[in-house]
Amino acid sequence: MSDSVFAQFTADDDQLAVALLVQPAINAALVHNRVPLVRHLTLERAARGGSASLPL
Protein backbone atom coordinates (compact mmCIF):
# COMPACT_ATOMS: atom_id res chain seq x y z
CA MET A 1 0.00 0.00 0.00
CA SER A 2 2.61 2.58 -0.92
CA ASP A 3 -0.04 4.95 -2.36
CA SER A 4 -2.11 4.95 0.82
CA VAL A 5 -2.40 7.94 3.14
CA PHE A 6 -2.68 5.49 6.03
CA ALA A 7 0.11 3.90 8.05
CA GLN A 8 0.01 0.27 9.16
CA PHE A 9 1.40 -0.92 12.49
CA THR A 10 1.62 -4.54 13.57
CA ALA A 11 2.59 -6.38 16.73
CA ASP A 12 2.38 -10.01 17.71
CA ASP A 13 3.47 -12.50 20.31
CA ASP A 14 2.76 -16.19 20.86
CA GLN A 15 -0.94 -15.53 21.63
CA LEU A 16 -2.18 -12.53 19.69
CA ALA A 17 -1.43 -10.65 16.46
CA VAL A 18 -2.61 -7.05 16.11
CA ALA A 19 -2.70 -4.92 12.95
CA LEU A 20 -3.75 -1.28 13.01
CA LEU A 21 -4.32 0.98 10.01
CA VAL A 22 -4.33 4.65 11.04
CA GLN A 23 -3.84 8.14 9.72
CA PRO A 24 -0.21 9.03 10.49
CA ALA A 25 -0.99 12.74 11.00
CA ILE A 26 -4.09 14.70 11.89
CA ASN A 27 -5.12 18.32 11.66
CA ALA A 28 -7.91 20.48 13.02
CA ALA A 29 -10.10 19.98 9.93
CA LEU A 30 -10.08 16.19 10.34
CA VAL A 31 -10.97 16.48 14.01
CA HIS A 32 -13.65 19.11 13.36
CA ASN A 33 -15.27 16.95 10.67
CA ARG A 34 -15.06 13.84 12.89
CA VAL A 35 -12.98 11.85 10.43
CA PRO A 36 -12.04 8.55 12.16
CA LEU A 37 -8.31 8.26 12.83
CA VAL A 38 -8.36 4.45 13.01
CA ARG A 39 -9.31 2.98 9.65
CA HIS A 40 -9.01 -0.72 10.46
CA LEU A 41 -8.14 -2.87 13.48
CA THR A 42 -7.46 -6.61 13.20
CA LEU A 43 -7.00 -8.99 16.13
CA GLU A 44 -5.99 -12.57 15.39
CA ARG A 45 -5.54 -15.34 17.92
CA ALA A 46 -2.23 -17.01 17.16
CA ALA A 47 -2.80 -20.18 19.21
CA ARG A 48 -5.13 -22.35 17.14
CA GLY A 49 -5.41 -25.42 19.37
CA GLY A 50 -6.92 -26.01 22.76
CA SER A 51 -9.42 -23.99 24.69
CA ALA A 52 -7.06 -21.48 26.32
CA SER A 53 -8.74 -18.19 27.06
CA LEU A 54 -7.15 -14.93 25.99
CA PRO A 55 -8.23 -11.86 27.96
CA LEU A 56 -8.49 -8.66 25.93
- Give all strands (DSSP E) within 1-56, no chain letters: 7-12, 16-22, 38-45
Q: What is the pLDDT of residue 10?
A: 94
Q: State phi, psi for 47 to the nearest 5 degrees.
A: -80, 115
Q: What is the pLDDT of residue 47?
A: 67
Q: Is the pLDDT of residue 22 over 70?
A: yes
Judge contact between 7 and 23, C-beta under 8 A: yes
Judge contact between 13 and 44, C-beta under 8 A: no
Q: What is the pLDDT of residue 9?
A: 93
Judge contact between 23 and 37, C-beta under 8 A: yes
